[in-house]
Structure 1
Amino acid sequence: MKELWRRISANPKVANEMYVASFLIAMLGLASSLYSTQVLNRYLSQGIDATLFTLTLGGLIALWFEVALRNARTRLAQWGCAKADRQLGEAAITACTKSQYGAVEQLPAQARREMLNGLSTIHQSFGTANVAALLDAPFALLFLLVLFMLSPALAVVALLVIGGVIVMSLVTQNMGREPTEEQSKLSIQLAGFHHTFASSTELVRAFQADELLKSGWGKTLGELQGARARLGHIQALVQNSSYAGGILMSMLVMGLGAREVFAGHLDVGSLIGANILAGRALSSLTRVMQMVEALGRGNRSLELLGQLARLPMERTEGTTLGHFAGKLSLEDLAFAYPKQPTPLFERLDFTIEAGSVIAVTGANGSGKTSFARMLAGLIEPGRGRILADGMDLRQALPEWWRRQIVYLPQDIQFFDGSLRENLTVLRPSAQDEEIIALCRELALGRYIDASPDGLGTVVRNQGQSIPPGIRRRLALVRALLGQGQLVILDDPSEAIDAEGCRALAAVLNRLVREKKTIIVMTNEPFIISAAQAVIDLNVKPTPRIVRAAAGKEAADSGVESAVAEVQHA
């Protein structure tokens, strides 16, 4: 209910207009009972057609105004709900894109998708229909008050029946909390199976995982259907209690009212009007009670979005340098993931001079990717600090720092859009000639030429249909277009063929000549041989640092010879 009231009261002027409209709608709603009373009391007793015509015309006019006011209130509610939905959507997207990387990654990807899918549930649960029902509910008291003026006894009967329906609805809705939460959790699990079936075709077919996955899917589906059945039973109880309450109220009002008529305390017209008033009062309240289940689902989705909103956000303010030369200093650096018994590394002290080439080696799981993400400012060290030209990265403005780096992550992902949009996301002003030149430099010319629309080719499914080696080189093009001074490459040669490795070596050689600082997470001999220092993460807990025996000139010639070795392989 809080979210509904928040949407209603978000704009005081619009809220006041909806309150006034709701009051007028309720007053005009009295016209139907007044019409029935007057027709039975005046027309049947006098038989004057003009009286019937006048009463009918008045009733139609009241109905027209009521419908017009309901339409106007609906438009106001739609405007308020659309604004609230947009604000929630923007907040959710901001939480996903601006929260600290490490905090977001602790939430499973499927859970994050379910949180964002909850925006549709919120839209349905807190939509205009439920806003209107909530605004109409208080005016049930108006109908009961008028009913009390006609017959206190009938008003008491109506009040007792309505109270019983409300209590029954609250009890059944409380019973539905557990199956609602269970349904939400099972829906996330089932969505995970569906994602695997839809996007992991090779896994399912090549390794015959279909039976195992179908078994897990069937078990989860069965549990989900059970939760839905329990929830459906509870919803049926709510609906049946409202239906039975309406029938019971009509019977009691008509039965007791007949005795009142027989005793001369009430006329027939007033009895019919009283029955209409009691029905309107019950209808206004049962509409609210019936939407409690939908509100529960909406509140559950709001709670999930709240988990996103509570994630710590990245800094929006920080220090910047007028010019970043490319020097990095690692001081007592240490990192460990939460609940990890031992750190990936600790007590790492090393200075990376501007323009140098550093290789970071290690087995799978040794921490190369975590180290790359730390240098890229995505995660923070557990201890120690990283200085960029003497400035602590924890004080740097994140957006500024990401413009200083050329970052190739290990897991390559694109978004659904054109290839040009994906490649120029760091620098949208880049011209096609520059993009294509970089693509040809990385031996991607044939791929671009073979694509039907060239750079306009649409990327689907996060680029998973693009061959891994080509996808990795396209990601390097994307990174290089940013023109950063610090180059951080996480396993750049993975899945790349010999031609691609020669192109990669040539690009690295060009970056060395441009005095870029290059840090490569790799186990490739041709890259390691070109490095001026190697950080070996296999040595725990303090990585071993192996410096080149020769000076920088020898190291530079080592780059040249390594490139030549690859180019002639």
Structure 2
Amino acid sequence: MNRPTHKAGAPLWAALADHTSTLLSVGCFTALINLLMLVPSIYMLQVYDRVLSSQNETTLWMLTLMVVGFFVFIGALEAIRSFIVIRVGNQLEQGFNLNVYRAAFERNLRRGDGQAGQSLNDLTQVRQFVTGPALFAFFDAPWFPIYLAVIFLFNVWLGVMACAGALLLIALAILNERLTHKPLVEASGFQQQSTHLASSQLQNAESIQAMGMLAALRQRWFALHSRFLTLQNQASDTSAVITAISKSLRLCLQSLVLGLGALLVIEGQMTPGMMIAGSILMGRVLSPIDQLIAVWKQWSGAHMAYQRLDGLLREFPEPPAPMALPAPSGRLSFEQVSAGPPGKRVATLQQISFNLSAGEVLGVLGTSGSGKSTLAKVLVGVWPTLAGTVRLDGADLHRWDREALGPHIGYLPQNIELLRGSIAENIARFAE
């Protein structure tokens, strides 16, 4: 499949729109599965009202063979539906993982926030939600009114009880969302901070060990992580209580509807088959709502991951194709350049201008903090300028194709670290 087109505004939403026809087919499969879920109730109705009264074994065998065939068909449809959403999720991740990697790299380059790994984890979380059972709960939920309507056809009072139970569960679902949304959002923020802090500390393990700072730094990390755990536990406890209440309520209502059905059978308002079928349908009415409450935490996590990814891709959209330029000769110029560390508006360099021809050498002297490192990073395009332009052979440095320009530039940062791979691969810049 072709890579999703990243449209302006909401790239992930635009990519999902590219799969509209596929998602509609999933909706059709869901509709057929939910309609076929009426089969157990119809089977029960026929067995109680026809087979038991007529003592006809042939009718029982035929009904049983038909219902088994329907269940096999339902299983096949559910498997196909799962295969479809798994492939949609994989195509979404394959279409976006390179772009998310690029955007996260660019954000880390400009801000130095070190959260590139979080963005890739967010993309995986969105894919797992799309391919997991939580999505099917949202597909199945709109079908509970169909089962509710069938119960009303059996008896109005059964329908009223089912409707009241559905409204109670919906109210619990809304309450669950309102009580857990804020702590989950705050917990997610503290989790990112604690993960970033731990990663930055572990990268300097030798210095921490040499200067005996482990206990103090570990305590600082644990303070953030404890706030994350506290908020996470608060949301989980609330969700667990509401989930337990909804499950108990659903089981209670299924028993009560059976008791009400028995009363209506005694009064001659319905048949025993309708009583059993109504109890089964009651479970089908309430089950999707109960499932939504159970998977709400997954939905909240996937929604926050989607929002972070959407913000990342909006802020760092895929750049246009760079202009093809000849190999540089080495003529360099700074034109009134002001620059500073990413994320800070205070300029370390202020209105620097100079020109260098190919082959010339420039030495820069200055005290610590005077801007030597900033000059070097702006010179090779690692940091953007706050004002002014850096030109190479007369062209703005940021208009060059980095993949084409990179082999012509040698850069030795202050902190030297080999990338994962052999020494030969590092020397060759991981090319052939």
TM-score (norm 1): 0.68
Matches within 5 A, 1:168-247: 168-195=172-199, 198-247=202-251
Q: Which amino acid in the other structure matches residue 367 of structure 2?
A: A
Tell me, yes or no, if structure 1 residue 35 matches structure 2 residue 43: yes
Tell me, yes or no, if structure 1 residue 60 matches structure 2 residue 68: yes
2:253 equivalent in structure 1: 249
Between stretches 168-177 and 250-259, larger displacement belongs to 250-259
Looking at structure 2, the residues matched to 7 and 63 of structure 1 have their Cα atoms a distance apart, in angstroms, of: 35
Matches within 5 A, 1:414-433: 414-425=418-429, 428-429=431-432
User: Taking structure 1 as reference, are residues 396 and 152 closer, same or farther at Cα in structure 2, changes over 3 Å only?
Assistant: same
Q: Which structure has more strand as a fraction of its residues?
A: 1
1:262 Cα deviation after fit: 1.7
Looking at structure 2, the residues matched to 12 and 200 of structure 1 have their Cα atoms a distance apart, in angstroms, of: 48
1:18 Cα deviation after fit: 2.2
Tell me, yes or no, if structure 1 residue 22 matches structure 2 residue 26: no
1:86 equivalent in structure 2: 94
Looking at structure 1, the residues matched to 60 and 259 of structure 2 have their Cα atoms a distance apart, in angstroms, of: 28
1:261 equivalent in structure 2: 265
Tell me, yes or no, if structure 1 residue 105 matches structure 2 residue 110: yes
User: Taking structure 1 as reference, are residues 339 and 143 closer, same or farther at Cα in structure 2, changes over 3 Å only?
Assistant: closer
The equivalent position to 1:329 in structure 2, one of 305, 326, 333, is 333
1:313 Cα deviation after fit: 5.0
1:375 equivalent in structure 2: 379
For the 8 Å contact 1:172–1:237, the answer to whether it is kept is no
For the 8 Å contact 1:77–1:131, the answer to whether it is kept is no
Looking at structure 2, the residues matched to 193 and 394 of structure 1 have their Cα atoms a distance apart, in angstroms, of: 31
Looking at structure 2, the residues matched to 265 and 3 of structure 1 have their Cα atoms a distance apart, in angstroms, of: 57
Looking at structure 1, the residues matched to 138 and 357 of structure 2 have their Cα atoms a distance apart, in angstroms, of: 66
Looking at structure 1, the residues matched to 340 and 259 of structure 2 have their Cα atoms a distance apart, in angstroms, of: 76
Tell me the alpha carbon deviations over residues 389-434 of structure 1, each in whole angstroms, 9 at most, x when there is no partner: 33343544444443432222333344322333222127x24xxxxx
Tell me the alpha carbon deviations over residues 463-512 of structure 1, each in whole angstroms, 9 at most, x when there is no partner: xxxxxxxxxxxxxxxxxxxxxxxxxxxxxxxxxxxxxxxxxxxxxxxxxx
1:279 Cα deviation after fit: 0.6
Q: Count matched residues.
A: 423
User: Taking structure 1 as reference, are residues 214 and 96 closer, same or farther at Cα in structure 2, changes over 3 Å only?
Assistant: closer
Q: Which amino acid in the other structure matches residue 88 of structure 2?
A: G
Task: Determine helix, strand or coil for the equivalent of 2:416.
Answer: coil
Looking at structure 2, the residues matched to 260 and 333 of structure 1 have their Cα atoms a distance apart, in angstroms, of: 86
Task: Determine helix, strand or coil for the equivalent of 1:43.
Answer: helix
1:75 Cα deviation after fit: 0.9
User: Taking structure 1 as reference, are residues 348 and 180 closer, same or farther at Cα in structure 2, changes over 3 Å only?
Assistant: same
Q: Which structure has more helix as a fraction of its residues?
A: 2
Task: Determine helix, strand or coil for the equivalent of 1:266.
Answer: coil
Looking at structure 2, the residues matched to 336 and 218 of structure 1 have their Cα atoms a distance apart, in angstroms, of: 32
1:135 Cα deviation after fit: 2.2
Looking at structure 2, the residues matched to 54 and 371 of structure 1 have their Cα atoms a distance apart, in angstroms, of: 85
1:281 Cα deviation after fit: 1.6
Tell me, yes or no, if structure 1 residue 150 matches structure 2 residue 169: no
Matches within 5 A, 1:42-57: 42-57=50-65
1:318 Cα deviation after fit: 4.6
1:184 Cα deviation after fit: 1.2
1:337 Cα deviation after fit: 4.4
Q: Which amino acid in the other structure matches residue 11 of structure 1?
A: H
User: Taking structure 1 as reference, are residues 9 and 253 closer, same or farther at Cα in structure 2, changes over 3 Å only?
Assistant: farther
In percent, how many aligned pairs have the same letter?
Answer: 24
1:158 Cα deviation after fit: 0.6
Task: Determine helix, strand or coil for the equivalent of 1:360.
Answer: coil
1:122 Cα deviation after fit: 2.1
TM-score (norm 2): 0.88
User: Taking structure 1 as reference, are residues 307 and 370 closer, same or farther at Cα in structure 2, changes over 3 Å only?
Assistant: farther
User: Taking structure 1 as reference, are residues 351 and 27 closer, same or farther at Cα in structure 2, changes over 3 Å only?
Assistant: closer
Looking at structure 1, the residues matched to 155 and 14 of structure 2 have their Cα atoms a distance apart, in angstroms, of: 37
Gaps of 5+ in 2: 1-9
Q: Which amino acid in the other structure matches residue 260 of structure 2?
A: L
Matches within 5 A, 1:361-510: 361-425=365-429, 428-429=431-432
User: Taking structure 1 as reference, are residues 27 and 417 closer, same or farther at Cα in structure 2, changes over 3 Å only?
Assistant: same
For the 8 Å contact 2:166–2:286, the answer to whether it is kept is yes
Larger Rg: 1
Tell me, yes or no, if structure 1 residue 124 matches structure 2 residue 132: no
Looking at structure 2, the residues matched to 228 and 114 of structure 1 have their Cα atoms a distance apart, in angstroms, of: 18
Tell me the alpha carbon deviations over residues 346-387 of structure 1, each in whole angstroms, 9 at most, x when there is no partner: 232322122111111222322112111211122333233233
User: Taking structure 1 as reference, are residues 104 and 406 closer, same or farther at Cα in structure 2, changes over 3 Å only?
Assistant: closer
Task: Determine helix, strand or coil for the equivalent of 2:351.
Answer: strand
Looking at structure 2, the residues matched to 70 and 284 of structure 1 have their Cα atoms a distance apart, in angstroms, of: 16
Q: Which amino acid in the other structure matches residue 177 of structure 1?
A: H
Tell me the alpha carbon deviations over residues 317-340 of structure 1, each in whole angstroms, 9 at most, x when there is no partner: 455543532222223232244775
Larger relative contact order, structure 1 or 2 (CA cutoff 8 Å, min sep 6): 2
Looking at structure 2, the residues matched to 339 and 57 of structure 1 have their Cα atoms a distance apart, in angstroms, of: 69
Looking at structure 2, the residues matched to 62 and 319 of structure 1 have their Cα atoms a distance apart, in angstroms, of: 61
1:160 equivalent in structure 2: 164
